[in-house]
Structure 1
Amino acid sequence: MSAVPSAAQEESPRNLQFHAHATSTFFTTLLLISFTLLLLFYLRRRRQKLGSVTTLVVSSPAIARDVLKTNDLSLCSRPDIATWRRYSYGSLEVALSPYSPRWVSARRLLVTHFLSPRPVRGLSAAREEEVRTLMNTVAAAAVFGHTVDLSKSLMSLVSCIVCRAVFGKRFAPAGESSMSEIGGVLCLTAEILGGFVAGDYFPWARRWLNAVTGVHGRLERSFKEWDDLFEREIKERERAGTGSSDDGTYASVLMRLVREEQSNKEGGLTRDAVKAFLWVKTTYRPNIGELRNPI
């Protein structure tokens, strides 16, 4: 005759689960309290505000003159933004990199070889062709009564123009005004750059904050996609050799400058610097006025 389990024996597994859950909750709460106390102690020792960012407020024309003219070299630098620093291969470009002799050299190269009237006029045919492609796409949609998202179409137009200027190719189906294959990478990059990065406001905890919030992982994935694209384009031009014609695109001009520096044994323009310039030019988005009269 089998023994009938008592009520206490039936409840024992439930009691064990309850005690295990209570123990886990206790240790979790203890860890949170300990972390908070350590954080407050650390901030008190350093006498810093949580998430503070040094800011200069200019409240009069006289102070603005001192900041922008008299003391411009002391106050003209850029903030140290983790995402931008990664994308620019350690601040090797011009747009938001801190002021330094290297920045001055990079700016001189940019103005001399890319922003003068001659290279801009040299790419006018590519811009006109992309505008005609967009107009043909819109006209074909009108014939069949299809709606057209002009905002998306204009973004596709700019994407194709930039790709033609930087790499000499469209990265999009021939004869169509559509977003290129790097459209997804561009959207993710814009999302990362425009998002809130806690590590920029908590420099002392930047590494683990960016890891916990997922910024580091998304940034590294996006950066690798860009780096693979740039490496592919650079190797394509290296395989073409020094005798290949310079088509005037940003990538070709940069590779020509690299070869010239190597022949002169200067080596100031590194491979990473080339990629940083390519990234800035590829992600740059001009407005409609610049499309009419680009500089």
Structure 2
Amino acid sequence: MSLRFGHVPVVVASSPAAAKEFLKTHDAAFASRPLSAAGRIIVHYNAGIVFAPYGDSWRHLRKIATLELLTARRIDMFRSARMEEVRSMCRSLLVADDRETGIVDVRGRVTALTFNLITFMLMGKRYFGKDTENEEGARKFLEVIAGTFEVCGEFPIGDYFPWLPKFLDPAEHRMHSLAKSLHEFLGENISEHENKRKNNKKNNTDEDFLDILLSLRDNGDKHLQNENIRSVMTAVSNVMGYHVPRGTTVLINAYAIARDSTAWGDDALLFRPERFLGTDLDIRGRDFEAVPFGSGRRQCPGMALALTTVHLTLANLLHGFEWREPSGESIDTSKEQYELTLLLAKKLRLIATPRLEQGTL
């Protein structure tokens, strides 16, 4: 369907066939990203992979991500760290958040796990659990990340009514505050790594992603200034018989596509995982009935890392524990919280009962 957000024409693709047209057939024509307040403020004038317009700079940053940082070899290098973090989280589940009821805040535990994995790969640091760097600082940084996801999911007045004064846009003020905190946190880690490099305290065996980026920068990569490093760390065509004017923003409605009855049947809204048995459905961008990582030129470069981490974490949680709802509570999946990503409106509160001996978790 065709909409208009302020002065911006918008086309929404809500079926697998429409998604295929934009993400594959006409991928090159729609590979750029519209300029936005979030890209301008949070990642320093669209300096990163997510917000940068399609062009030489974006292609270079994407190449660094896929050939230097997120290769199969690099991901495998951190295999033992992933295993240990998941084991640590499973052991932590033996102590409930509410000891009287035994209730565990599953989202909080998984958030801490994810944060530890990412910061260890990026900066060689852990922030939650034993032998951590600065748990209080990490919690504040997580609040900044959560705030960033919230504000990026809001309706930014300036993006759609650019002639209005910026001081009228509440999202703009919040973005500046969040960006300041975000850049300070990442800037401190960049300075710390630079000092270690000067003092020869790093070697190839303990390189993290930030070391690699700094090495590329110091070896003359003009596309990798500090603002780019921080951001890496956080046309006309006719489509399906319709004329899509130049400058149109295309939104791929992955929510509707995953619930499309023509692709999934009349029971599309039912939790029925056995529907995938015996199928060769590919969620890596080849098929368009489900596009959790996108497809085409703008596909998520962290897909392999995400799948590896999710499978490892979920397998350990299901193998190591029996899960049940607290007495009198039920999991309500009908209410959602809209941000940059989609979350359950309420935290996932469950009771975990170990299925294994403590020493084997």
Q: Give me the whole-angstrom Cα distance separating, in 1, the residues matched to 2:196 and 2:99.
A: 44
C-alpha contact (below 8 Å) 2:60/2:223 kept by paired residues: no
Unaligned runs of 5+ in 1: 1-48
Amino acid in structure 2 at the alignment position of 1:161:
L
Instruction: Check 1:112–1:144 CA distance in 2 against 1; reply closer, same or farther (3 A cut).
Output: same
Q: Give me the whole-angstrom Cα distance separating, in 1, the residues matched to 2:150 and 2:174.
A: 10
Amino acid in structure 1 at the alignment position of 2:57:
R
Q: Give me the whole-angstrom Cα distance separating, in 1, the residues matched to 2:29 and 2:312.
A: 34
Partner of 1:124: 79
**Quick one: which of 305, 310, 313 aligns to 1:291?**
310
Partner of 2:169: 213
Partner of 2:60: 105
Q: Give me the whole-angstrom Cα distance separating, in 2, the residues matched to 1:50 and 1:138.
A: 45
> How far did residue 75 of structure 1 move?
2.3
1:277 is aligned to 2:232: yes
Partner of 2:114: 158
> How far did residue 175 of structure 1 move?
5.9
Matches within 5 A, 1:38-187: 51-56=6-11, 67-69=22-24, 71-141=26-96, 146-174=102-130, 180-181=138-139, 182-187=141-146
C-alpha contact (below 8 Å) 1:119/1:248 kept by paired residues: no
Count of matched residue pairs = 234
Partner of 1:45: none
SS at match of 1:139: coil
Q: Give me the whole-angstrom Cα distance separating, in 2, the residues matched to 1:235 and 1:186.
A: 21
Partner of 1:198: 157
C-alpha contact (below 8 Å) 1:164/1:249 kept by paired residues: yes
Partner of 1:260: 219
1:188 is aligned to 2:207: no
Q: Give me the whole-angstrom Cα distance separating, in 2, the residues matched to 1:173 and 1:61.
A: 42
Amino acid in structure 1 at the alignment position of 2:228:
A
Partner of 1:245: 203
C-alpha contact (below 8 Å) 1:165/1:249 kept by paired residues: yes
Residues 169-189 of structure 1 show CA distances to partners (whole Å, capped at 9, x for unaligned) of: 11234268x893322111211
C-alpha contact (below 8 Å) 1:77/1:98 kept by paired residues: yes
C-alpha contact (below 8 Å) 2:151/2:175 kept by paired residues: yes
RMSD value, Cα: 3.3
Q: Give me the whole-angstrom Cα distance separating, in 2, the residues matched to 1:157 and 1:66.
A: 37
> How far did residue 267 of structure 1 move?
2.9
Instruction: Check 1:113–1:293 CA distance in 2 against 1; reply closer, same or farther (3 A cut).
Output: farther
Unaligned runs of 5+ in 2: 235-301, 314-361
Instruction: Check 1:222–1:57 CA distance in 2 against 1; reply closer, same or farther (3 A cut).
Output: closer
Query: Which structure dedicates a bigger proportion of its chain to helix?
Result: 1
SS at match of 2:227: helix
Residues 94-153 of structure 1 show CA distances to partners (whole Å, capped at 9, x for unaligned) of: 123210111111111111111211110111122111111111111133996542111221
Q: Give me the whole-angstrom Cα distance separating, in 2, the residues matched to 1:251 and 1:68.
A: 31
- Structure with more contact order per residue of length (Cα contacts < 8 Å, sep ≥ 6): 2
| Bigger mean CA offset, 136-145 vs 77-86 | 136-145
> How far did residue 223 of structure 1 move?
0.5
Instruction: Check 1:271–1:72 CA distance in 2 against 1; reply closer, same or farther (3 A cut).
Output: same
Partner of 1:6: none
Query: Which structure dedicates a bigger proportion of its chain to strand?
Result: 2
SS at match of 1:203: coil
1:232 is aligned to 2:188: yes
Whichever of the two has the greater Rg, that structure is 1
Q: Give me the whole-angstrom Cα distance separating, in 2, the residues matched to 1:193 and 1:127.
A: 29
Residues 34-79 of structure 1 show CA distances to partners (whole Å, capped at 9, x for unaligned) of: xxxxxxxxxxxxxxx7813223467999987775556433322112
Amino acid in structure 1 at the alignment position of 2:146:
C
